[in-house]
Amino acid sequence: MEISTLATYHCLAFVWYFFVAYSILHIRTEERPSEVFLYGGQWKYLTVLNLVLQAVFYGVSFLADVLRLIKKLRCAKCVISSRDLLFSVLAFPVSTFVSISFWALYTYNRELVYPKSLDGVIPLWLNHAMHTAVLPFAVLEILATPHRYPAKKKGLILLGFVAFLYISWVLWIYSVTGEWVYPLFALFSPAGLAAFFAGSLAVIVSFYNFGEFFNRMIWGQSKFCF
């Protein structure tokens, strides 16, 4: 894909994610069900955090494209390294996990992850923007441009660390409020919850590995250009 076309795509994707994140973060207080958005606001939901993550990623990607267009290659190289690390470790595996896990649980029992009371608060288009569109965006990004993945050990350590931070945030919220971020968690014993978190981590690691494999299948091991 030409750099100018890529820059246009990344700019539009950034604007889209900024708009979606703005829309969910500015739902009027009086419209929120009493059991939702209390302690921690929307920042306790992985879906919302992922929207911000994607906006940051596409913003960095657009910056890298602009630097390449104006021939600031030394600066572009640094920004592209950050872009690739952000995409490989977080943007692809998290967006894939959010989409697939949400719709799997929603199909099984929506009350476990997305209570029906939210239908009157969050429009259908916004639900799909948060939970559906993120997956094709992630796949399209791999098809649009090659990304260099870090050494496997480094990538998995960074991914595991971020997962640990989010799990710690979820547990902290429960310790303060006595309520789980997602009703699903209330179904588990402490041991069961630990197993669920471990299983979720294994799933997101598999998405990391799939992203690396898919990127290599499309672009080869080392194809990269300025």
In a domain, 14, yes or no: yes
Give the containing element (helix H, strand E) for 67: helix 46-69
Q: Does 102 score more than 90 pLDDT?
A: yes
**Could you give the number of structural domains in the chain?**
1
CB 123 within 8 A of CB 24: no
pTM, two decimal places: 0.91
In a domain, 142, yes or no: yes
In a domain, 179, yes or no: yes
In a domain, 154, yes or no: yes
Q: Does 20 score more than 60 pLDDT?
A: yes
Categorize the per-residue pLDDT at 71 as very low, low, confident or very high, splitting at 50, 70 and 90.
Answer: confident
Backbone φ and ψ for 123, nearest 5 degrees, come out as: -60, 155
In a domain, 35, yes or no: no
CB 159 within 8 A of CB 53: no
CB 77 within 8 A of CB 12: no
The residue range of the domain holding 77 is 3-27+40-219
In a domain, 32, yes or no: no
Categorize the per-residue pLDDT at 173 as very low, low, confident or very high, splitting at 50, 70 and 90.
Answer: very high
In a domain, 53, yes or no: yes
